[in-house]
Structures are given as C-alpha cells and as structure tokens.
Structure 1
Amino acid sequence: MPKTTTYTVKVMFGDCDPAGIVFFPNFSKWMDASSLDFFMQCGIPPWRELQKTTGIIGTPLLEIHTRFIRPATYGDTLEIHTHIESWAAKTFVQKHVVMKDGQVLCEGRETRAFVVHPEDEPDRIKSIAIPDFIKVACS
C-alpha cells in the first residue's frame, strides 16, 4: 500500500460558480496544494529550504488528467487523499482522490518532475533524477 496523505479543504462561496457548484479549476488548485502538502507530510522540507541544500526548486506539473464524478458546493469539507502512483527516472505520477463523506467526487493524476536551475543557464529549469532520499521518504 503506497504512503497516502490527506489534505482537507473547506469549500467557500467564492469557490463556486453561479449554479453553486465548485468551479472545476479549483479542484486543480486543491490537488496542487495537496501535492506539496504530501511531500511536507513525508518529511521533505519546503522547496525554498530544499533549494538551499540540493538545488531542487520544486516539482512543476507536466501533465494532468482529471475525472469528475460528483459535484461539491460551499460549506462542504473535502478530503484530498494523495499518493505517488509511480516513479520513473526523472518523473513521477501523483494520484489525488477528492472525497466528501466517504464518497469520491473527483480523481486526478499529475505527472511532475523535480527540477533545478542549471548553473550555466540560471533562468531555465531542468529535470533531475529523483533523489533516493525523496523516494524512500515518500514510498
């Protein structure tokens, strides 16, 4: 069983469209927040701290797939269950399951990479091999 964390979101009125249901990009915003929260719950320092010790500046999004099943509205409390579905040499796939009261509302998969600023091109980013200490802490 993969290591799974839970990130809680309270849906506010401003998160919803005129019909009173959560505007779909908010799910992506919450999954992005849950992605970072996953690493922090696994004991990985915030990106600004990790940059000082390893040069890693974060895990930008390369690809996203989302499947919507049920709506949510303001006043709802959502739980986003996040884990690493797979590791590759330089990328990984995180799966997010958004739930309310035990029912799945939305599932998302994000492909991400750990990146640094190359010394010879500090305005660019490049992916790196995923460090073993991160795989160990998050598996």
Structure 2
Amino acid sequence: MTYSRTIPIEFCHCDPAGIVFYPRYAEMVNHMVENFFLEVVGHGFGPMMAAGQGMPTVALEMAFRKPARLGDRLDWTLVVEHLGRTSARFLVRGEDRVEARTTVVWMDRDFTPSPWPDAMRQTLEAHHA
C-alpha cells in the first residue's frame, strides 16, 4: 500500500528565485514519515518521545529531478521499501520533482536499536512495496 498526501509549496520553502531550496525537501520527506506514523501506524512522534522512544534517521539519499516553484502543490507518496528487524527504509517521492530514500531505526528507552513492536511491524509490512 502507498501512503500519500499533498504538500503545498509555500514562500518558506523557496529561495530568492522562487524554487524550493533543496534542504526543504529533506523537511518534506521527514513530514511524510512523521505523518505516516501518526495517521497510518498510529504511533505519533509526540507520544513516542514522551515514552522515551525514538526513530532517528540514519541515512538519507535524495535525487532532484526538476524544480518545484512557489504555489505548486506536490502530491507525495511513501512506501516501505525495506523492513529489517530494527530499521525501515522508505521510498518517498514528490511527483516527478524529487525522490528520496530514508532509513530510520527504532530505538527504545535505552537508545539502542530495538526490534519493531509487533503492531508497528504488522502495519509496516502491510505497506511494504
């Protein structure tokens, strides 16, 4: 299954030329992952942090295909490309503009990689490409 949402390109995303400043794409990729966990996995970052858990990004690779401009509305998609014992890699695309692969690791209270909780693993498996 694919998770999707639309992100409007706003002034805060753009450089003086009116196109998306490339680090802002990293924020949008994180936005996709964070909202996927909130809306689909049912485990938002706020409660995660309050419980002393976390999911840091350990790798991020991005390819910029063509510019997005102020006022565009990009349709983004996310799929689970790889699911490991303690990590997951997501393929995140912003239409034909940008493609990213981001890897996160599940961390429990002791800040060491831990196996995905069963309910989370089941949802991630359902979204595995």
Q: Same fold (TM over 0.5)?
A: yes
Q: 2:13 aligns to what?
A: 15
> Any unmatched runs of 5+ in structure 2?
none
The Cα shift of 1:63 comes to 0.4
Identity in percent: 22
C-alpha RMSD of the superposition: 1.6
Query: Is 1:105 the counterpart of 2:105 in the alignment?
Result: no
Equivalent pairs counted in the alignment come to: 125
TM-score under structure 1 length normalisation: 0.82
Where 2:32 maps in the other structure, the secondary structure is helix
User: Which segments of structure 1 move beyond 6 Å, counting only runs of 4 or more?
Assistant: none
Distance 2:37 2:6 in 1: 15
Q: Which has the larger radius of gyration?
A: 1
Question: Are the aligned partners of 1:38 and 1:83 in contact in 2 as well (CA < 8 Å)?
Answer: no
The Cα shift of 1:58 comes to 2.6
Query: Is 1:36 the counterpart of 2:5 in the alignment?
Result: no
Distance 2:49 2:12 in 1: 34
Question: Are the aligned partners of 1:61 and 1:113 in contact in 2 as well (CA < 8 Å)?
Answer: yes
Where 1:71 maps in the other structure, the secondary structure is coil
More strand by share: 1
Amino acid of the residue matched to residue 111 of structure 1? Answer: T
TM-score under structure 2 length normalisation: 0.87
> Any unmatched runs of 5+ in structure 1?
119-124
Distance 1:56 1:97 in 2: 30
